[in-house]
Structure 1
Amino acid sequence: MKINFYNLSHNINRGTYMKKTILLLISPLLLSACQTMTASECQTANWAALGSQDALKGYTSRAESRQDSCSKQGVNISATKIQQYQQAYAQSIQQYCQPENIFNLSLTGSGSISACPEPNYTKVKPYHQVASNYYQTQQSIKYTKQDIDRLDDQLIKEDDKAKKEKLMQDRISKSRELERYYDELKQAQVQLEALKNSFR
């Protein structure tokens, strides 16, 4: 099945998508900015395994930050070990940045494409957008329902008329918000199924 990725990605509400996913994009970058290692870890680490591990978690390369961390521990890391890290990382990031993998991870809120090199980044972007949008919409529904339950509890306990009216208005607003999220979920479901079919 041929998917029109341009139309698919543009059908997602851009403002909503950006607000919902900005933390998903930033978090791996922050995590990869600094990697602390103990002196013992620096001395015994398999640097090829570390490179593969970081790539398969969707991090940008941590070779430099790991090397700096070891240097602060008084352990010098050889150029050979750094090369082993980089080679393993380069191989594993290609494995990580595959459409189906990104799609499945993004459905759980853990997928990130910030470390994916081109042309992989462009290839996996629609899968990440659609799956992340679906996940975040589900989360919005979950938390909005919790807000409504909280307001219902407050309405039962509140005796003051003015405060009760305010709570009722808040509940109406949240109910409308919930309806909007359900509409978004229906749209996201259609996009989700289209991408699922592309794997078959």
Structure 2
Amino acid sequence: MKSFYYFCITVSLALLLVTLSGCATLSKSECLTADWQIIGLEDGANGRPTSYIGNHRSACADYGVKPDLNAYLAGHKNGVRQYCSYQTGYNLGERGSSYNKVCPKAQYSQFAAGYERGRTAFQLKSEARELKNSFDSLLNRLADIEALIDSNEALIIADTTPPERRKLLLDEVKDLNSEAAEIKLELPGLEEALYQAELRYERYISRQK
């Protein structure tokens, strides 16, 4: 029992070490050769806040390396200038991504404008995708129904099918035909809605180019 207890502790510690190492932002070699201005530039260009340096500080603490705050902040400032553009905002919005509020007032308006337009594109595309999924789902269901009807009708006319079973199959075919009729009534409207949604998306995207 005691050996099992120690085994569990050993496994838990191993998993904890793996988790902690997976969270490290920099490796040992990167810490020892760090150019903190470049690291700050990369973080800023990726929209990370200046507080992200705390993650680097933790990653490098075991190797006796402390970040150069001034160099990091100088690089970060330049990186943020690259990040806070209309195009970056648009790309983030189009992917449906969120963002950190790192942009200075002078650049935030253009970044936010791009983000909002990108979000609109994302929403239009999502609407079209949902309609496409619904349309395809109905088509697949209709195909399944028609296959079931064919299968049941083959059993109905088979000489080996008992009368009781034949009656059940006839009732099932009736229900399936009713469901198929409802789907066929629904498909044209859904197809038109899908066409209009895709058209709205394509027109919107063409205006952004």
Q: Same fold, TM exceeding 0.5?
A: yes
CA spacing shift, 1:46–1:149, aligned 2, 3 Å: same
SS at match of 1:119: helix
Match of 1:165 in 2: 179
Paired residue for 2:120?
A: 133
Alignment partner, residue 68 of structure 1:
58
Give the aligned residue type for 1:68. Answer: S
Contact 2:89 2:115 in 1 (8 A): yes
Aligned in 2, Cα 1:42/1:178: closer, same or farther, shift over 3 Å?
Answer: same
Letter in 1 for 2:95: G
Higher relative CO (CA 8 A, sep ≥ 6), structure 1 or 2? Answer: 1
Equivalences for residues 33-44 of structure 1 within 5 A: 36-44=25-33
Q: Does residue 50 of structure 1 match 2:39?
A: yes
Q: TM-score, normalised by structure 2?
A: 0.57
| 8 A Cα contact 1:141 1:181, kept in partner | yes
Indicate conservation of the 8 Å contact 1:111/1:128, yes or no. Answer: no
In 2, Cα distance between the equivalents of 1:59 and 1:163? 58
Q: After the TM superposition, which residues 85-124 of structure 1 pair with which residues of structure 2 at under 5 Å, given as runs?
A: 85-103=72-90, 105-106=91-92, 109=95, 113-114=99-100, 115-124=102-111
1:179 to 1:95, Cα distance in 2 relative to 1, 3 A: same
RMSD: 3.6
Using the aligned pairs only, state the percent identity. 18
**Which structure has the larger Rg?**
2
Contact 1:58 1:111 (C-alpha < 8 Å) held by counterparts: no
Give the TM-score normalised by structure 1.
0.59
Q: Alignment length, in residue pairs?
A: 156
Gaps of 5+ in 1: 1-33
Q: Which runs of 5+ in 2 are unaligned?
A: 1-22, 149-171
Kept in 2, the 8 Å contact 1:48–1:88? The answer is yes
Distance in 2 of aligned mates of 1:123 and 1:63: 26
